[in-house]
């Protein structure tokens, strides 16, 4: 399992349309990545104006190979939608999940 973090840096004067992101872009992610092993999506917003990131999206995907195949096949559709909700270029971190513990 890998976890992909898509991070949108917080900066003065930035534009980020949360409503569009949650209604349109998140659905596009789900629609396009589900067949490539998307297991979960989570969207978090920075707790205040001093947070280094305005928003971070977490995507759990079966494998790095699945993610690479998805980006090759449908990545352009995802990236072309970004200017519709923000003027911030996202920073993307792909991580191998090495340990997880569910609590409760």
pTM of model > 0.85: yes
Average pLDDT, the chain: 97
3.30.390.10, 3.30.43.10, 2.60.40.10, 3.30.70.100: which CATH number matches 2-96?
3.30.70.100
Please provide the DSSP assignment of 7-61 as one string.
EEE--TT--B-HHHIIIIIHHHHHHHHGGGTEEEEEEEE-SSTT-SEEEEEEEEE
How is the chain split into domains, by residue range? 2-96
Q: Which residue shows structure tokens 């999506």?
A: 41
Nearest to 41 by CA among 54, 30, 31, 52: 30
> pLDDT, tens digit, for every residue of 44-72?
999 998 999 999 999 999 999 999 999 99
């Amino acid at each position: 399992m890998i976890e992909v973090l898509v991070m949108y840096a917080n900066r003065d004067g930035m534009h980020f349309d949360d409503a569009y992101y949650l209604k349109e872009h998140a659905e596009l992610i789900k629609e396009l990545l589900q067949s490539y092993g998307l297991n979960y999506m989570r969207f978090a917003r920075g707790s205040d104006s001093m947070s280094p990131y305005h928003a971070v999206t977490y995507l759990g995907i079966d494998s790095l190979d699945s993610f690479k195949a998805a980006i090759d096949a449908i990545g352009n559709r995802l990236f072309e939608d970004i200017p519709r909700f923000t003027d911030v270029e996202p920073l993307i971190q792909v991580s191998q999940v090495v340990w997880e513990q569910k609590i409760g």
